[in-house]
Amino acid sequence: MQRLLYSLSGASGQHYSPHVWKIMMSLKHKGLDFELKPVSFGDISKIEDGSFTSVPVLNDQGTLLGDSFEIAEYLEETYQDAPSLFDGPGGLQLSHFVESYCKTVLHPTLAVIAVMDMYNIMSDADRAYFRPAREKRFGKSLEDVYAGRDAELSTLPEKLNPVRDLLTNQDWFGGEKAMHADYVLFGTLQWCKVCCPDPILAPSDPVNLWFERMLDLHDYMGRKAVSEAVAA
Amino acid sequence: MQRLLYSLSGASGQHYSPHVWKIMMSLKHKGLDFELKPVSFGDISKIEDGSFTSVPVLNDQGTLLGDSFEIAEYLEETYQDAPSLFDGPGGLQLSHFVESYCKTVLHPTLAVIAVMDMYNIMSDADRAYFRPAREKRFGKSLEDVYAGRDAELSTLPEKLNPVRDLLTNQDWFGGEKAMHADYVLFGTLQWCKVCCPDPILAPSDPVNLWFERMLDLHDYMGRKAVSEAVAA
């Protein structure tokens, strides 16, 4: 049996879903190999048993799972002898807070920053789905959302203040090593790293220095994905 | 030997320091009794061996400690048979992120909201210290800071978005029970609850419902302190 991870991807195979990146990193953290299965928006409802409405979807040797946090909990419980993603029950509970921070503080901003670059790397079929769906959500055209990109980008450094403060005293959310909470924020930012030609963080920002460390983890998986995306 | 907790307090004994509240709750969480020793700003440098510049300071039967996070770590390590404050090493590490969130996102806002109410409950000696120190920090008079109170208060609900999102799915930061991370946010908000006559959260806000649950913990310690402060 195989281990398959379904991932939204661009026309040239760029994996840009933040939630899929959380699980790509968590699988490698557990030392688990997997095959990435690229899907388009239109394919999501046809994944495996047809019960899923978003990615990631993991088929772990026959066990089907959706939702990145549920997958991380499953991996922690199923592969207990591998390095821990949560380092105990308190770490699992507080990883939910890191999720809530990324979801409510960063996602709305990054959604504006990345919208046009995401659109540009999509297949024609995905563009035909994405444009009306996002224009309905934003209540304006993608071009009008994009017009607010610079203003939105200028708010990002302040929104990262809690992370910057944390990283003044420790190298990872997990202290001396990365844990799932690191992957939650990493996936969130890797979304833009894969889509956007221009950097969204200042080179010397401690958050960027942490992000660069994250790109080096697990045999440079995040870094290779970006260079492949750029080459594509 | 006694267990003494030194706490900044108002002219009528109101304990308003957010960092002291974190430790009051954490001591009770561990089932430990303590004697609160009120101090003024001018007294801080005279606490115990004279080496401290802020509160809380804990004298735990002869062991002297400052800094609320260091005290919480000490309590966890020293009283291992009592209920855990961190629920494992991951919980300890991610509690730092909750601290960073409170410090960078909430404190600057609450410092404006509470500044005049804090001043009003202080002794004359503390007022004489506090006014020039805070006016230097803010770069304007307390009255001018207070003039921006309503504008600052209006930003608070959005700043609490990550907490509100978390509490949609769980009752406490710790999941099914409170942990030190709950006390970190509680102390931060209790600061205003003790000082400010007017509520800073809408009654139906999930953050306020959680705060009300926090006030009930440990034999209503937080609630009693507020009613005593109001009666004073």
Contact A165 B91 (CB under 8 A): no
In sign, the C-alpha dihedral spanning A124, A130, A133, A135 is negative
Pairwise CA distance, residues A156 & B63, whole Å: 43
User: What is the per-residue pLDDT across B124-180, written as a single tens digit (0 to 9) for each?
Assistant: 999 999 999 999 999 999 999 999 999 999 999 999 999 999 999 899 999 999 999
In this structure, what DSSP letter does residue A43 have? G
CB < 8 Å from B in window 144-183 of A: 161-166, 169-170, 173-175, 179, 181
% of chain A surpassing 90 pLDDT:
95
H helices of B102-160, in order, are: 107-121, 124-138, 142-147, 149-159
Residue B105, chain A, CB below 8 Å: the answer is: yes
Count of other CB atoms within 10 angstroms of residue B161: 17
pLDDT of residue B232: 52
For residues B180-207, average pLDDT: 97
Cβ neighbours of residue B198 closer than 8 Å, sequence gap 6 or more: none
Asked whether the beta carbons of residue B174 and residue A90 sit closer than 8 angstroms, the reply is yes
Work out the minimum CA distance from B230 to partner chain A, whole angstroms. 33
User: CA-CA distance, A79 to A73, in Å (whole number)?
Assistant: 10
In tens, the pLDDT along B212-231 reads 999 999 999 999 987 775 55
Say which of B90, B162, B169 has its CB closest to residue A104. B162
Q: Do B169 and A105 touch (CB under 8 A)?
A: no
Kindly state the helix (H) or strand (E) to which residue A72 belongs, with its residue range. helix A68-78
What is the count of residue pairs from A and B with beta carbons less than 8 Å apart?
Answer: 119
Q: Tell if the CB–CB gap between A173 and B88 is shorter than 8 Å.
A: no
Place B114 in a pLDDT band, splitting at 50, 70 and 90: very high
What CATH code is assigned to A3-78? 3.40.30.10
pLDDT of residue B226: 77
Name every residue whose Cβ is closer than 8 Å to that of residue B160 and which is 6 or more positions away in sequence. B106, B201, B205, B207
Q: What percent of chain B has pLDDT over 70?
A: 98
Q: Which of residues 209-228 of B touch A (CB under 8 A)?
A: none
Q: Does B123 touch chain A (CB under 8 A)?
A: no
Contact A88 B87 (CB under 8 A): yes
pLDDT at A229 over 70: no
Q: With an 8 Å Cβ cutoff, is B207 touching chain A?
A: no
Domain B89-231 coded CATH 1.10.260.40: no
Order of strands across the sheet with B63-66? B35-39, B3-8, B57-60, B63-66
Residue B1 clears pLDDT 80, i.e. is over it: no
Which tens digit of pLDDT belongs to each residue from A86-118? 999 999 999 999 999 999 999 999 999 999 999
Provide the shortest C-alpha distance from residue A214 to chain B (in Å): 17
State in Å, rounded, how far the first CA of chain B is from the last one.
31
**H or E segment and range at residue B8:** strand B3-8
Q: Which residue has the higher pLDDT, A227 or B105?
A: B105
* Per-residue confidence band for A231, with pLDDT thresholds at 50, 70 and 90: low
Q: What is the pLDDT of residue A225?
A: 85
The DSSP result for B196-225, as a single string, is -SS-SS-TT-HHHHHHHHHHHHHHHHHHHH
C-alpha A66/C-alpha B105 separation (Å) is 32
Question: Is A92 in Cβ contact with B89 (below 8 Å)?
Answer: no
Averaged confidence pLDDT in chain B: 96
Q: Look at B91 and A94 and tell me if their CB atoms are within 8 Å.
A: yes
User: Domain locations in chain A?
Assistant: 3-78, 89-231
* Cα B32 from Cα B188, distance rounded (Å): 22
What pLDDT sits at residue A232?
A: 52
Mutation target vs B (from A29, A73, A94; most B CBs, 10 A cutoff) = A94
pLDDT tens digits for range B35-70? 999 999 999 999 999 999 999 999 999 999 999 999
Residues A142-151 pLDDT 10s: 999 999 999 9
Quote the tokens at residue A29: 């953290």
Q: Which of B96, B169, B181 sits opposite A166 (nearest CB)?
A: B96
Amino acid in position A205: D
Over residues A203-208, the mean pLDDT reads 97
Helix or strand or coil: residue B12? coil
Å from B89 to nearest chain A CA?
6
Residue A7 has pLDDT above 90, yes or no: yes
Span A40-62, average pLDDT: 96
Per-residue DSSP letters for A117-161? HHHHHS-HHHHHHHHHHHHHHHTS-HHHHHHTHHHHHTTHHHHTH
CA distance A217 to B184: 31
Least CB-CB distance to A103: which of B163, B165, B174?
B165
Distances (CA, A) of B170 to A38, B25, B177, B179: 34, 20, 9, 13
Asked if A70 has any chain B CB less than 8 Å from its own CB, the reply is no
How far apart CA B212 and CA B206 sit, in angstroms, is 10
Answer for the pair B182, B214: CB distance below 8 angstroms, yes or no: yes
Q: What is the mean pLDDT of chain A?
A: 96
The residue among A26, A93, A166, A168 with the most chain B CBs within 10 A of its CB, best to mutate, is: A93
Indicate if B89-231 has the same CATH topology as B3-78: no
* The two structure tokens encoding residue B229: 């402060």
